[in-house]
Chains A and B, each alone.
Chain A
């Protein structure tokens, strides 16, 4: 009989707890990362009374957290992957927008510049046409600078983001360690190890951390969790957390790298971190931003070098040989911060047809000097070509040791095209200095009797004797001719073939037809030739000729490659982001399906436990009635 009341009380207690847990679930329906809790009830051990076992009510075994570790791990993995692609996409899309914009991109302004060059060729003495060419050149260089500045802003934004993210990671890491500490401080729970809500809290912290960087967790027997990032760096071990920090790149102090500061030393982990926003941002910088800088720089280098090379072969309105049209800085050579040598190394572009968009690392190991092309890992043996004693040329870039010595183990970073778009400028200011004419002119003597014709001639290179007067006189019979002029060596009896090239002193002409004996043809300086447009015709056509990439790409091709590269990376990132988002949604749905709170279910449970409580209360009431009856039975 006493059991009757006891049993009722156990029921009341159990259902009270159940109702409390159900309302806890309902209250936390919108809490992120919450795992629903279930009260585990079991029958109390029976009592052996009078030869039979009699039940003794219900007991609460514990509050179970409905949870699946595998599903939570899935959410973390897909979260890292999705955030990585989202970060990459978000940043790459900014470059994509800028380069492809029909008004803001480089294509229209490149076109206007070369059109203006054609207009000068159409009317070489026109000052307005020349002025327009100079203005278009200014617009072109301004646009290059503009795009470069936007890329540079992104570079700065990446640094800022890295700083912020590293701080977030550190905060989360110490929070996780703090929760580990709390868990150790609290008394043990028989079912879960510790408080459910603390476990949920820690899970949420770890999931948030996985959004920043890929990680692995390891459960310990004392209910703490260890967290590892990169390729095994222990970010959280029990109650201790380590920290990440941003450090300056040893070659380029304006670039940040990530270091792991565990055990007192800082280890560079930039190349080991992957996944998450941090991994995605680092990937963006390495694969998209650096490529955009270099690709754009290659276009600018191509324009400046090719145009200057042709311009120098011409003659301006003052009768002088063409000066540099564009100004251009030499590529930068960066010194590693731990170098011990005193070397000062410089680089210059010598063959623009060979330049690539890759960066290069120069290093000395013992007696070996090697240059590694970082895009594909090709190594060039420099000391075999005489470096550092003589300058050496690789991929169109000449590298020279100017002063000092390279110590063993020293390293240098060479970035030939990185600042191309920033360093291009217009060197000419005076319209008279535009070299539209060619420096030589050809003529045939008025007293020639044959039908020989001489071509207008082209200039191939700047020879010291380029503008010396050279006379070509035909012998009798006119199957050979003599050449007379400084720098030609005055050869005689040169065989004549109609239409074939004749080259001396850096120019090339053709004589065709049937010259008679004694006929003379002359090549001389083009004094007063202001109406000559031959050099302008050449430099106006630079845009349409494949002069880059070993004579396979035009300037437009080179720019198009940059646009297409960035475009396809952005597209890849976008598609990967979409795919991963779907996977993330699926894994979240799977997790929610197990651990999420369903209000209808809890409502039904409320009704269930409420009824059970009412029924149990009725049991108490019955027990009371029985007691009263008993008391009434024994009262006098």
Chain B
């Protein structure tokens, strides 16, 4: 086929421009480490990467929510442990107070210690979590939940709400228990735990111990133990969900990496090839352009 002079030139230039363009693209890939620079490089891949990134971010948020849940449940567990220790001590005192070997003086001394325990228990029940919210107030976390009128009447000012946190796409976990369930409405006892201790102290003071108070204390402790069991189960659930979340994040990141990350070995090889290609195009252009019949017709 007959080739015109400008065609020779044009083809040489076009070839060089093409090589340069491919080279630049490879360079950019190597500099950013991404195979997909703009969505048009791979539209379905780009959408896939967007979806994966959203899932990863959402799962990482669930992990943060799980941390917050864990912190709150830990605060609750500490409070419940102290309560159990306290009630244990109260029971010991009640047993001692009920034996005939103790006299009125002795009973007064025991009563005094029981009142100390009562004050401590009220303090624990009105305790706060790591954010400064009342632990056992239901949803009314800015109001002190338990108040006493000074003469043995104890009122719960909170509600029966229970906060849940989202630790997985379909998993919510309770992070607290209402004060009414922990301290006020005790199955198997006829009054709340503060009144139990108040009456115990009053009876001991009046040298008239009531053996029924032992049963009440047992019921109260059983209630706390049941709730502790629930808290433990929740913490286990969080731990299991954390494992699920972690392995999911890892798997999603691996998939994203497969879609988006550059295969460096392949890219560097390609870069070398394209550089050779460009050099070849440039050198052949230089050589061919020099050839002309006019060089020989003087």
Interface of A with B (CB < 8 Å)? 29-30, 36, 92-93, 96-97, 99-100, 107-108, 110-111, 114-115, 118-119, 121-123, 125-126, 437, 441-444, 446, 456, 526, 528-534, 537, 540-541, 543-544, 556-557, 559-561, 563-564, 566-568, 570-571, 574, 585, 588-589, 592-600, 603-604, 606-607
Given the known inter-chain contacts A125-B131, A564-B46, please indicate yes or no for A606 contacting B297, CB distance below 8 A: yes
Given the known inter-chain contacts A531-B137, A599-B5, please indicate yes or no for A443 contacting B160, CB distance below 8 A: yes
Contact B40 A596 (CB under 8 A): no
Nearest-neighbour CB distance to chain A for B291, whole angstroms, equals 8
Contact B292 A123 (CB under 8 A): no
Q: List 10 A-B contacts (CB under 8 A).
A: A441-B159, A442-B160, A530-B139, A563-B46, A563-B50, A568-B43, A592-B3, A593-B7, A596-B5, A599-B294
Contact A532 B163 (CB under 8 A): yes
Contact A543 B139 (CB under 8 A): no
Q: B residues within 8 A CB of A585?
A: 11, 14
Q: A residues within 8 A CB of B39?
A: 96, 99-100, 563-564, 566-567, 570
Q: A residues within 8 A CB of B68?
A: 122-123
Nearest-neighbour CB distance to chain A for B21, whole angstroms, equals 10
Q: How far is the CA of A557 from the CA of B14 in the complex (A)?
A: 41
Q: B residues within 8 A CB of A596?
A: 2-7
B65 within 8 A of A: yes
Nearest 9 pairs between A and B by C-beta? A596-B4, A531-B141, A567-B39, A567-B43, A529-B139, A570-B40, A100-B39, A603-B293, A532-B139
Q: How far is the CA of A560 from the CA of B39 in the complex (A)?
A: 10
Nearest-neighbour CB distance to chain B for A27, whole angstroms, equals 13
Mask: chain B, 135-154; 1 = CB below 8 Å from A; 0 = not: 00111111100000000000
Which of B6, B14, B43 is close to A571, meaning CB atoms less than 8 Å apart? Answer: B43
Which of B5, B142, B294 is close to A598, meaning CB atoms less than 8 Å apart? Answer: B5
Given the known inter-chain contacts A100-B38, A118-B61, A592-B6, please indicate yes or no for A444 contacting B160, CB distance below 8 A: yes
B282 within 8 A of A: no
Q: B residues within 8 A CB of A598?
A: 2-5
Q: B residues within 8 A CB of A534?
A: 164
Q: A residues within 8 A CB of B142?
A: 125, 528, 530-531
Which of A540, A560, A597 is close to B166, meaning CB atoms less than 8 Å apart? Answer: A540
Contact A118 B65 (CB under 8 A): yes
Q: Which of B51-59, B88-96, B221-229 contacts A (4 or more CB under 8 A)?
A: B51-59
Which of A441, A446, A603 is close to B139, meaning CB atoms less than 8 Å apart? Answer: A441
Nearest-neighbour CB distance to chain B for A69, whole angstroms, equals 18
Q: B residues within 8 A CB of A594?
A: 2
Residue of B nearest to A565 (CB): B43
Given the known inter-chain contacts A125-B141, A531-B137, please indicate yes or no for A571 contacting B57, CB distance below 8 A: no
Q: A residues within 8 A CB of B184?
A: 446
Q: How far is the CA of A606 from the CA of B143 in the complex (A)?
A: 108
Residue of B nearest to A106 (CB): B50
Q: How far is the CA of A592 from the CA of B44 in the complex (A)?
A: 41
Which of B40, B54, B133 is close to A125, meaning CB atoms less than 8 Å apart? Answer: B133
Contact A528 B4 (CB under 8 A): no
Q: 8 Å CB contacts to A: which residues of B38-80?
A: 38-44, 46-47, 50-51, 53-54, 57-58, 61, 64-65, 68-69
Given the known inter-chain contacts A532-B163, A593-B4, A596-B4, please indicate yes or no for A115 contacting B50, CB distance below 8 A: no
Q: B residues within 8 A CB of A595?
A: 4
Q: B residues within 8 A CB of A531?
A: 133-134, 137-142, 161, 163
Q: B residues within 8 A CB of A568?
A: 40, 43
B26 within 8 A of A: no
Residue of A nearest to B187 (CB): A451
Contact A604 B6 (CB under 8 A): no
Nearest-neighbour CB distance to chain B for A561, whole angstroms, equals 8
Q: A residues within 8 A CB of B36?
A: 100
B185 within 8 A of A: yes
Contact A446 B185 (CB under 8 A): yes
Q: How far is the CA of A92 from the CA of B131 in the complex (A)?
A: 50
Residue of B nearest to A607 (CB): B297
Contact A441 B161 (CB under 8 A): yes
Contact A121 B166 (CB under 8 A): yes
Nearest-neighbour CB distance to chain B for A203, whole angstroms, equals 16
Which of B38, B134, B297 is close to A603, meaning CB atoms less than 8 Å apart? Answer: B297
Q: How far is the CA of A468 from the CA of B131 in the complex (A)?
A: 32
Which of A29, A126, A530, A561 is close to B5, meaning CB atoms less than 8 Å apart? Answer: A29
Q: B residues within 8 A CB of A107?
A: 50, 53-54
B1 within 8 A of A: yes
B172 within 8 A of A: yes
Q: How far is the CA of A441 from the CA of B138 in the complex (A)?
A: 10
Contact B5 A589 (CB under 8 A): no
Q: A residues within 8 A CB of B297?
A: 603, 606-607
Contact A544 B169 (CB under 8 A): yes
Contact A456 B65 (CB under 8 A): no
For the complex with contacts A442-B160, A531-B134, A594-B2, 8 further pairs of A-B residues with Cβ separation under 8 Å are A93-B38, A96-B38, A100-B46, A528-B159, A529-B139, A561-B47, A571-B40, A585-B14
B83 within 8 A of A: no
Q: B residues within 8 A CB of A570?
A: 38-40
B29 within 8 A of A: no
Nearest-neighbour CB distance to chain A for B244, whole angstroms, equals 16
Residue of A nearest to B8 (CB): A598
Q: How far is the CA of A529 from the CA of B142 in the complex (A)?
A: 9
Q: B residues within 8 A CB of A119?
A: 64
Contact A443 B131 (CB under 8 A): no
Given the known inter-chain contacts A443-B160, A596-B7, please indicate yes or no for A121 contacting B57, CB distance below 8 A: no
Q: A residues within 8 A CB of B131?
A: 123, 125-126
Q: B residues within 8 A CB of A36?
A: 4
B165 within 8 A of A: yes
Q: A residues within 8 A CB of B14?
A: 585
Q: B residues within 8 A CB of A560?
A: 47, 50-51
Q: How far is the CA of A592 from the CA of B185 in the complex (A)?
A: 99
Contact B54 A111 (CB under 8 A): yes
Residue of A nearest to B134 (CB): A531
B180 within 8 A of A: yes
Q: How far is the CA of A588 from the CA of B44 in the complex (A)?
A: 36
Which of A108, A118, A567 is close to B64, meaning CB atoms less than 8 Å apart? Answer: A118
Contact B6 A597 (CB under 8 A): yes
Which of A529, A530, A544 is close to B58, meaning CB atoms less than 8 Å apart? Answer: A544
Q: How far is the CA of A110 from the CA of B54 in the complex (A)?
A: 9
Contact A564 B166 (CB under 8 A): no
Which of B7, B133, B162 is close to A589, meaning CB atoms less than 8 Å apart? Answer: B7
Q: B residues within 8 A CB of A529?
A: 138-140, 159, 161
Q: How far is the CA of A158 from the CA of B172 in the complex (A)?
A: 51
Q: How far is the CA of A29 from the CA of B166 in the complex (A)?
A: 76
Residue of B nearest to A29 (CB): B5
Q: B residues within 8 A CB of A100?
A: 36, 38-39, 46
Which of B7, B61, B159 is close to A592, meaning CB atoms less than 8 Å apart? Answer: B7
Q: 8 Å CB contacts to A: which residues of B172-206?
A: 172, 180, 184-185
Q: How far is the CA of A108 from the CA of B164 in the complex (A)?
A: 27
Nearest-neighbour CB distance to chain A for B180, whole angstroms, equals 7
Q: How far is the CA of A607 from the CA of B43 in the complex (A)?
A: 60
Nearest-neighbour CB distance to chain A for B41, whole angstroms, equals 8
Q: A residues within 8 A CB of B133?
A: 123, 125, 531
Q: How far is the CA of A437 from the CA of B38 in the complex (A)?
A: 42
Nearest-neighbour CB distance to chain B for A174, whole angstroms, equals 29
Nearest-neighbour CB distance to chain B for A12, whole angstroms, equals 21
Q: A residues within 8 A CB of B2?
A: 593-594, 596, 598
Q: A residues within 8 A CB of B61?
A: 114-115, 118
Residue of B nearest to A116 (CB): B61
Q: How far is the CA of A30 from the CA of B185 in the complex (A)?
A: 101
Q: A residues within 8 A CB of B139?
A: 437, 441, 526, 528-532
Residue of B nearest to A129 (CB): B131
Residue of A nearest to B69 (CB): A122
Which of B43, B46, B292 is close to A600, meaning CB atoms less than 8 Å apart? Answer: B292
Contact B57 A111 (CB under 8 A): yes
Q: How far is the CA of A566 from the CA of B47 in the complex (A)?
A: 11
